[in-house]
Amino acid sequence: MISQWSLLLTTAVAVVEEVEEKGKLFDFDATLPLMMIQIIVLVAALNALFYKPLGKVLDDRDEYIRDGLGDAKARLAEAETLTKKYEAELAGTRRESQAVIATAKAEAQKIAAGQLAQTQQAAQVQREQAQQEIEQQKQSAFTALEPQVEALSRQILTKLLGAELVK
């Protein structure tokens, strides 16, 4: 490719020298090819020095962005999977904790009912004992008062009826 360019340049130089020999002010025959050669050389230089490196940088950047997007999508999918997994575990744990709470409530109610029954039974026993004590005290009071009642009754009868009629 360099040899083609050098050949093209030597041809262009020869054409320029030929044009200078003629000495015309506007010689399109030599100027036009020379301008074409300059444009071709400029395009080749710009392509080699600017466009190819710039294109490579843009391609590398595009590839980097695509890789980053792919990684981000993979991480997002992994995060969603982990989120679903943890939500399922959390729901299971919540169900287990609710079951434990329900079991604890049922046991507490059983214990409370048992203690209430024991307390009621103890109160019933105390009430029955108190009733028996009251009955015993009542009987002992009746037995203690019976001779006195009899004596008072006799005194009343004696005073009312007289001593001869009461025996």
DSSP notation for 7-46: HHHHHHHHHHHHHHHHT-SS-HHHHHHHHHHHHHHHHHHH
Rounded to 5 degrees, φ, ψ at 27 are -110, 100
Q: Which pTM was predicted?
A: 0.42
pLDDT in tens, 89-98: 999 999 999 9
Q: Which of 58, 32, 44 is nearest to 5 (CA)?
A: 44
- Does 30 have pLDDT greater than 60? yes
Helix ranges restricted to H, 23-167 = 28-46, 52-161
What is the percent of the chain where pLDDT is above 90? 50
Provide the pLDDT for residue 132: 92
Nearest Cα to 65, choosing from 73, 54, 55? Answer: 73
**CA gap 76, 68 in Å, rounded:** 12
Q: Provide the pLDDT for residue 25.
A: 55
pLDDT exceeds 60 at position 146: yes
Q: Is the pLDDT of residue 21 over 60?
A: no
- pLDDT of 36 strictly over 60: yes
Beta-carbon-side half-sphere exposure of residue 151 (alpha carbons within 13 Å)? 5
Query: Does 16 or 122 have the greater pLDDT score?
Result: 122
Is the pLDDT assigned to residue 24 strictly greater than 80? Answer: no
Give per-residue burial for 59-83: e unless 16+ CB within 10 Å, then b: eeeeeeeeeeeeeeeeeeeeeeeee
Rounded to 5 degrees, φ, ψ at 56 are: -65, -45
Angle CA(92)–CA(97)–CA(95) in degrees, nearest 5?
A: 35
> pLDDT band for position 107 (50/70/90)?
very high
Mean predicted confidence (pLDDT) in 121-132: 92
| pLDDT tens, residue by residue, 39-73 | 999 989 888 888 888 889 999 999 999 999 999 99
C-alpha angle 130-134-139 in degrees, rounded to nearest 5: 150
